[in-house]
Amino acid sequence: MCGIAGVISFREDMRAEAEACGKMQAALIRRGPDQRGIFLSQEVALVHTRLAVIDIAGGRQPMTVTSGGRDYTIIYNGELYNTAELRRELGCEFLTASDTEVVLRSYIEWGENCVERFNGIFAFAVYDSAEHRVFLARDRIGVKPLFYYETADKLIFASELSVLLENPDIPHEIDEYGAAELLLMAPGRTQGCGVIRGVKELKSGECGYYTLAGLKLRTYWRLHACELNETFAQTVEHTRELVLDAIRRQLVSDVPICTFLSGGLDSSLISSVAASELKKQGKRLNTFSVDYSGNDRYFQASHFQPDSDNEYISIMAEYLGSEHHRVVVDTPELVTALEAAVDARGLPGMADVDASMLLLCREIKKHGTVALSGECADELFGGYPWYRDKDIRETDGFPWAQSTAYRSRFLCERYARLIDADEYVYSAYRRTADSAERLPDDSPLEQRMREMTELNFRWFMQNLLDRKDRMSMYSGLEVRVPFCDYRIAEYMYNVKWEYKDYKGREKGLLREAVSGWLPEKVLWRKKSPYPKTHNPAFLEAVTERLRAVLAEDTPLTELVRREELESLLRHEDRVQWYGQLMNLPQTIGFFVQLDYWLKRYAIKLV
């Protein structure tokens, strides 16, 4: 994995952008600490920092290939998992063993349609000097990020929002729409929105060209409805083949591989397959989990989190014979890491849920460069409570964010007059739900489950992918997510709900498909989310931090109503800010992060 950035103009000389590119490269260095490079020409300035994983010596970037007398230059962030197949299909002589060259030669051979042949996670740019254009693309699922800002005569892009803000041409401003994203949607984000005024993000499954006429994008992939005429037994076998193949493909690396292990179904399965493959090579798998100081004392079971992870982690570590590392995070370091988590995400996020992931990834990096993680299984296989709770499922609105009325109270008076909070959130929900493809003979239940998949896929999952990418890459750790294989997504979108709900259990189909890979107790463990701290010391600490913020001159109260923040400090309301992941402590932590973000990037409200 890597960091990429660039400035393109067909009216100005981009060789004058060297200083600005140097600043963007410096901001990218955490994503790619191993190698760095800058390509400067009259039309483009391309920036790269590399985290070397495949062909460490030969995969340097920017990479230029000459074909047919024309030069093509690429900067690429990602991994391809069907590299071998593409090499055979291209049939040309390769100068390196890197997947970067495969991506570039695929573009040379197939043009913009190359993305439809890739199985992987990526964001990249290819400069075609003869055609005076740059091709930009992002992977189908949206695992790898790409933000951009377009002016009348240039395009500026980067892997991260914070890197983009290093360019002096981009104003550090938010308007009422940015305020609505921060206070009504965060930590989620409307797809394509960069929060900062004028900043956008290439959407998942999107690509296009920047030319003298500007940026023209198209959607090359999305979830489509189609008929599946498979029995349950056939579906189980098909699911097993897809999932195991996706995991095995993502174990290819020239550097050590490890896995996240929470003791839940998804990470346990990935760890089991990884351990099995490594054992064939005479190697032992390193697994990692996170816990919080005091959680053994203060943990409180709930409908969403019925038990803690530790018992199941121990069962799996013994079953795998892995070298397990339990990372215990104490409250003071967790609070301190709130700011680093903002630096990593480029935006305020999920407080301790982000900060602990950042600290966990920092520890993992000491043992390996690549880790596999279980994100996206819940979205595709129906793992969340809102898929199966009839009342929540039929509620008209985002199932994890039923707090718009509460959130809108925090909007400052000026923006509250400009934004209809209910309309802003509901219209986003409705657009997404209505976009879900259906078949004419779908039952009302099947139609709703397609809507639920689309909602989770475009919103909840994107937030988790943002978090995993930013928190891991902040420490130069590459995280791969096998369940994000687009083949699994396409297939599961069309599997009957009664199959997914096998035995009336969340992810029942997946459990049945991978039986034999896990101990029974783990295989049928009830879904439990990523853990957050239950230690009351965290609530006390973030309360004191926010109280200190309000005691000083702060830009936070220009955006957020002071009286609502003071009410938070009195712990009067305990409304879920973002599903089971953000309750009162996390909400207070979010506003601590928001204050830091406004100051860190000198954000102006317009």
What angle do the packed helices 99-110 and 83-90 form, to 10 degrees? 40
Q: CB-hemisphere CA count at 13 Å for 521? A: 9
| Cβ atoms of residues 10 and 22 within 8 Å | no
If we measure between CA atoms, which residue out of 410, 403, 391 comes closest to residue 303? 391
**If DSSP codes are grouped into helix, strand and coil, which group holds residue 324?**
strand
Q: Which two tokens stand for residue 21?
A: 């590119």
| Cβ atoms of residues 216 and 155 within 8 Å | no
d(CA 155, CA 343) in angstroms, rounded, equals 24
| Cβ atoms of residues 569 and 547 within 8 Å | yes
Which uninterrupted H or E stretch holds 72?
strand 70-80
d(CA 407, CA 418) in angstroms, rounded, equals 15
Sign of CA dihedral 79, 82, 88, 91: negative
d(CA 522, CA 534) in angstroms, rounded, equals 23
Task: Look up residue 284 and give its amino acid.
Answer: R
**If DSSP codes are grouped into helix, strand and coil, which group holds residue 257?**
strand
The DSSP result for 124-143, as a single string, is EEEEETTTTEEEEEE-SS--
Percentages helix, strand, coil for the chain, rounded to the nearest 5? Answer: 45, 20, 35
Q: What is residue 560's DSSP assignment?
A: B
Q: Which two tokens stand for residue 323?
A: 């070298």
Task: Look up residue 399 and give its amino acid.
Answer: P
Q: CB-hemisphere CA count at 13 Å for 336? A: 6
Cβ atoms within 10 Å, residue 237 = 13
Q: What end-to-end distance do the CA atoms of the chain give, in Å?
A: 36
* CA distance readout (Å), 414 to 150, 437, 564, 604: 28, 39, 15, 14
| Cβ atoms of residues 108 and 67 within 8 Å | yes
State the catalytic residues.
2
